[in-house]
Structure 1
Amino acid sequence: MSDAVQNNLTNTRLAWIAGVGASAGLGAALARRFAREGLSVVVTGRSRERLDTVVAEIQRAGGQALALPGDVTSESDLAAIARQLAERGTLEVAIFNAAGATRAPTLDLSAEQFEAAWRVTTLGGFLFARAALPPLLVAGRGSLLFTGATASLRGRPPFAAFASAKAGLRSLTQSLAREFGPQNIHVAHVVVDGGIDGERLRTSAPQRAAERGPDGLLNPDEIADSYWHLHQQGRSAWSQEIDLRPFNESF
């Protein structure tokens, strides 16, 4: 994709979404949803190729988007992206959608694997918040949203690393909400309680998609609708946490 196309962000209202991968995934669905509402969307993830695909989809639909790849565990990467955002407009909403989905029985789980899950999910969330909050505070308003999971609320094998990391992220969002809510920054955590009907699940566990049947998985576009609703909430009735689950999911 040419620099001319990449740099064509004329709208000053920005949405920054970290953790964008496949087009058939939640990160991409979030990007499309906020672009449809007229925001210029900046997408961050590890794969430039996948980001460019999402950007091209948004632009074909008449929206504005920019790919800024980066590693959410790198403070310097996120700081560099935040500086570019400041040059392009006003950050209105920042969404952290990255996660380290380590899966292994506890006695087979290495310390390195455990730490890697924490680094992407918990440390990454902290570093993203550190990068996104200054421009939101300068604007005097905005939303800082985080993607959680069933594991945010309860742990089970073989997800000891993932659950610990997601629980840490949830606690982080509560701390951020209490600190920055009084400064007009809406911090919210979304518990996605069930499988997402996207590329990751259908590639890694296609049998699960078949077993769940109709209404057994969460539609990424419908999840994205809830994030937009959170961003639109009036501050007399802010949600700090919501949970979303498919019709056929028990809880």
Structure 2
Amino acid sequence: MDLEPKGILRDIMIALLILTEFFFLNTLMTVHNWLPEYQFGLLILPSIESISLFILLFCISLFNSKIKRWLVYALSLLLTLFVVFGIAEAVVRHAYQRSFVPWTDLSFLPGVFHLLFGESVITKPVFVLPVVILFVLSICFLFYFFFRLSIRLFTFLKYRFITFSGIALILLLYGFLLGFSETLIDDIYEQIMPPSTAELPVASFDRDNIDDKNYYFSRLEERNVLLFSIESYGYTAYSKPEHYIP
């Protein structure tokens, strides 16, 4: 590191640029935390994933050009998947106050499109094709964006080991003092891994000790009680005007 005033000022500017890029990346990686309840104060909390990927990005910058390019492709794809899963997690948390379950929530999409646009429209390729194209273009845009971001950061990280080490140490201390943001990898792991089984003790009681005087429906004691649950999204009334009663 150059100890001249110009060299020190240059290193400070590079450190500030790296920190800016980090917190921008951290904002995208933690969208599932601050977006559902609009808690913008959580933006200042670094996440373990962001710091880990930031360190991984520095390690990739030390490889030669051929290997580095393939590693950057893999890292860009990983960042894209993280952001897409984080956005889905944020939407589900905001709407249903629970975590995103891909195998369950994605199966609801056809029903949502049927409710919004009707069966006669959703079955037409002219509607399905633009949705698929828009989704693919969004994924490609995110991938290209993270690829260019990684290449730009390489110019700052490759020969700035001391500066980068200081920034990483500051971020770790910053996280330990203020707390780290909620990790997304735990939610992804829970949704990918099969559910674990657990055995619970069965509650039992002695029917002979029941006080008949405190049982107001004694005649139903030996009868079956049937519960019927009916759920409707209102699609029938929405799509069939003759069934709608204003």
Higher relative CO (CA 8 A, sep ≥ 6), structure 1 or 2?
2
Length-normalised TM-score, structure 2 = 0.23
Higher helix share: 2
| Structure index of larger Rg | 2
